[in-house]
Structure 1
Amino acid sequence: MAVTDSQNPLIDGNTCGSFLQKLQGIWDEVGESDEEQDKMLLQIEQECLNVYKRKLLQSLSDAKLELSSLLLALGENKFMGMPDKTLGTIKEQLAAIAPTMEQLWQQKEERIKEFSDVELQIQKICGEITGDLNPDQTESGSFAVDESDLSMKKLDEYQSQLLELQREKSERLHKVLDYVSTVHNLCVVLGMDFFSTVIEVHPSLNESIGVNSKSISNGTLTKLAKTVSTLKEDKKQRLHKLQELASQLIDMWNLMDTPIEERRLFDHVTCNISASVDEVTAEVEVERLDQQKAHRMKEIAFKKQDELEEIYACAHVEINLEATRGNILSLIDSRNIEPSELLADVDKQIVAVKKEALRRKEIWDKVKKWMSACEESWLEDYNRGSKMIAITVEQQFHWYNASRGAHLNLKRAEKARILVNKIPALVDTLVAKTRSWEK
């Protein structure tokens, strides 16, 4: 009996139809009876159903295994929202597991990121301590996280390790800063260049580099300790030599009856004659240098102030000299301003006053001409003598020449008369320029 598509539920669609047609062709060729064909078809149908069921069961088994692996990796014995493994059909059980799986995968990714961040910081600090820090290794994702154990217990262990390393880093950083401070003080006392000394140990010890970027490696600490030891020994030897020289100097003063005034010039040397190595500190040396610096700055400041006052005088600007100089002294003595800033301020004043003097120059030139013209008082005497004679210019010349004995006076008188005649115009010009300047 031949099988048609309508007689079997498996025969549905083009694929099944094509399969049955090929199967029917084989049966016809073999000569299989209808009964055998029906038995064969039922057998194939059952096998297909078994395969399909096994496939669904395998999918469910794989999902349950993956779920167990995720729970194990995350260290979760129980998980909220876990579905009942025995309720519903296979597809219903698969559908029930899917949301839990998605949630666990998301939690796993977040946990991996937490592990990655912690391990990255651990790796970085370890590299800073050993001095083998590789910038390429500090990038996130440069190493693989062990995904077999992502439990909170394991994460807590890593975080505890990180806290311990951070404490060690802080202690090392304080030790480095203490060493650097000691090197600075010793360099000041010994008159050495602190910058070049500390850079020779490690470039990151430069003052312009941030504290958190300074090297804390074993090698840096060892070099700093060695540098401090070397500088202390140098300080000890120099102090011993200085004390010997000071003793010899005092003996020579005593033999030569050197006056106290001359001895005071070397107080900064003899004051250390009985001092210990620890008593000669940078603070004392800095204080002495600050005093010398203040004295020198006063000299420079007053020299510039003299220049400024001279310009003020030329520009006919009145200032309180005593108050200005007193202000300079108080600023330097109080140390509330950097000497360089004070000198820069005086330089600015000099530039400003020079500009002001240049603006006033034209007015003062007119004033000088006006004053010069007003001083030609002798011209009145000359004019009175001319009127007494009451004759021509030629006769005036003979009279004046006879009375004074110099023909040049006539020329001078003519020039003076011209200059005096210009006085009204000079005054008008001066008034106009003064008003313009005032505006």
Structure 2
Amino acid sequence: QQLWGEIGKSREERERMVHELEAECTRVYRRKVDEATGERALLHQSLAASEAEIAALTAALGAENSTQFKVNKWTVSLNERVSSATALLEELRAMRAERSKQFSDIRSEIEKISAEIAGRSHGQDNSPRAGDAHDLTIRRLNDYRARLSTLQKEKSERLHKVLEHVTEVHSLCDVLGEDFIAIVNEVHPGLHEADPGKPTSISDTTLTRLSQVVAMLTSEKAKRAAMLREAVVPLVELWDLMDSPVEERRGFQKAAAVLRPAKEEVLSSGVLSMASIKRTEEEVERLTRLKAGRMKELVLKRRLELENICRSMHVEPDASTVPEKSIALIDSGLVNPSELMASIDDQIAKAKEEHQSRKDIMEKINKWLLACEEEKWLDDHNVDENRFSTGRTARLNLKRAEKARVIIMKIPAIVDNLMSRTLAWESERKKPFLYDGARLVAVLEEHKQARLRQEEERRRLREQKKLRTLFSEKETMPRLKRP
């Protein structure tokens, strides 16, 4: 008003301008109050929306301690409360995003395994489901994890079964000589592919088909094993009958393993293939054709073996299978060559058994015969006029004579021991012990009697020699003259 007074404004003008100023201040004040009221309303609205979202997120996340996710209402200013709500909301949103990702990953893995078990393709759809946004609790996440664990365990068990079946199919195909890849491809192409991007099929269909293939191949294996066994049995018989060499048998040793039940599960590769069975059957046919031409040779060979064994025992072999008679029987067709061979083999077995039982006695017979030879040599040596010469041969003969006298003194004991063992052998086997066609006991008795006669003769000769010596000495003595 002082300025207006200096300017020269009238009182009415001054009062009018004061009223205008007051009205203008009132309008500015009201505008500021309206602006502040509007800002407060917006803050309240934003705070309410944030609190509502916080409550929704807290409920969806299933937060156990929800007090930490509430806005402090005792804060003085609304801006601080809004800022606190905004920070809390950002934290909850980050938690929701992380939890949603966990749900999405687990659900994707569940769907993937479920698709593998069901045998269908798996779509790569990782978008959250409608229900997942409203229930992201730990309890529900643990339910998903438990379900995933169950599916993973089932997948592992199914994969183990598939691998077992595939391994068994491979083993069967190897033995049967079949195409493993072609058979497995009929079940599922992915079973033999090594591409890591293509998982192994573990569906019910695959497992069922694999079980059927294993059953089919197992049945085929048993069938072919029976076929091969039917061919191998006569083959082994022909080998033994014809005394086939090891080199000729070596090519069929793997096939011959089918006769050993304990080894059936570890048969060699391709041994039950149709080609292997056919080759074995052809070998049987070949040996059958050769059998007739080699039977005479084999019979003679077996007979010679029998004669050698009997000769070593100093006994005569069985006369029923002499070479001339055996060959005549084969040529006439009156006897089966196999039966004749079996008869000779039986005689050989009995001869070997008897040879073993006579072994001890035969060793003592040889000892007795050697002693008798020494005795004969000593007799010849004693009548040799040069036995006392000074040569090296004479000295060696004198040493031998000393040893021979020691051996000769043991002859009676050797004979008695040999006779007792022979009698025991005869008592046990209920038959006489023959040696070169004569009973050994009789030979020994004759030997004892001969030795007695020989000793008696020697004693008589010694007495005669003594008498002749005395007579000669008496004749050479000078005769005394009578007085």
> Shift of residue 190 of structure 1?
0.3
Instruction: Flag the 1:188–1:146 CA change in 2: closer, same or farther, 3 A.
Output: same
| Aligned residue number for residue 64 of structure 1 | 51
Q: Return the alpha-carbon distance in structure 1 between the equivalents of residues 181 and 167 of structure 2.
A: 12
Kept in 1, the 8 Å contact 2:257–2:267? The answer is no
Choose the corresponding residue for 1:243, options 209, 229, 246: 229
| Aligned residue number for residue 74 of structure 1 | 61
TM-score by length of 2: 0.46
Choose the corresponding residue for 1:6, options 4, 25, 29: 25
> Shift of residue 65 of structure 1?
1.5
Question: Equivalent residues in 2 for 1:165-176 (5 A)?
Answer: 165-176=151-162
Question: Equivalent residues in 2 for 1:91-130 (5 A)?
Answer: 91-130=79-118
Question: Equivalent residues in 2 for 1:132-211 (5 A)?
Answer: 132-134=120-122, 137-141=123-127, 146-210=132-196
Kept in 1, the 8 Å contact 2:190–2:198? The answer is no
> Shift of residue 8 of structure 1?
2.0
Letter of the 2:228 partner, please give it: L
> Shift of residue 144 of structure 1?
5.5
Q: Return the alpha-carbon distance in structure 1 between the equivalents of residues 121 and 67 of structure 2.
A: 41
> Shift of residue 126 of structure 1?
0.8
Larger Rg: 2
3-state SS in 1 of match to 2:214: helix
Q: Does residue 271 in structure 1 map to residue 244 in structure 2?
A: no
> Shift of residue 71 of structure 1?
0.7
Kept in 1, the 8 Å contact 2:43–2:82? The answer is no
Kept in 1, the 8 Å contact 2:175–2:271? The answer is no
Question: Equivalent residues in 2 for 1:301-320 (5 A)?
Answer: none
| 1:399-424: CA deviation from partner (whole Å, max 9, x where unpaired) | xxxxxxxxxxxxxxxxxxxxxxxxxx
3-state SS in 2 of match to 1:215: coil
> Shift of residue 95 of structure 1?
2.6
Q: Return the alpha-carbon distance in structure 2 between the equivalents of residues 92 and 208 of structure 1.
A: 62
Q: Return the alpha-carbon distance in structure 2 between the equivalents of residues 146 and 164 of structure 1.
A: 21
3-state SS in 2 of match to 1:138: coil
> Shift of residue 207 of structure 1?
4.7
Q: Return the alpha-carbon distance in structure 1 between the equivalents of residues 90 and 197 of structure 2.
A: 45
Instruction: Flag the 1:175–1:237 CA change in 2: closer, same or farther, 3 A.
Output: same
TM-score by length of 1: 0.50
| 1:3-41: CA deviation from partner (whole Å, max 9, x where unpaired) | 95433236659xxxxxxxxxxxxxxxxxxxxxxxxxxxx
Letter of the 2:160 partner, please give it: H
Q: Return the alpha-carbon distance in structure 1 between the equivalents of residues 270 and 209 of structure 2.
A: 30
Q: Return the alpha-carbon distance in structure 2 between the equivalents of residues 203 and 78 of structure 1.
A: 54
Q: Does residue 259 in structure 1 map to residue 244 in structure 2?
A: yes
Q: Does residue 284 in structure 1 map to residue 272 in structure 2?
A: no
3-state SS in 1 of match to 2:268: helix
> Shift of residue 260 of structure 1?
4.4
Q: Return the alpha-carbon distance in structure 1 between the equivalents of residues 230 and 157 of structure 2.
A: 41
| 1:239-274: CA deviation from partner (whole Å, max 9, x where unpaired) | 1121122234445667x7463454554333333135
Letter of the 2:56 partner, please give it: S
Letter of the 1:68 partner, please give it: A
Kept in 2, the 8 Å contact 1:201–1:220? The answer is yes
Kept in 2, the 8 Å contact 1:5–1:11? The answer is no
Instruction: Flag the 1:101–1:271 CA change in 2: closer, same or farther, 3 A.
Output: closer
Question: Equivalent residues in 2 for 1:12-91 (5 A)?
Answer: 56-76=43-63, 77-78=65-66, 80=68, 82-91=70-79
| Aligned residue number for residue 411 of structure 2 | none
| Aligned residue number for residue 210 of structure 2 | 224
Q: Return the alpha-carbon distance in structure 2 between the equivalents of residues 211 and 53 of structure 1.
A: 60
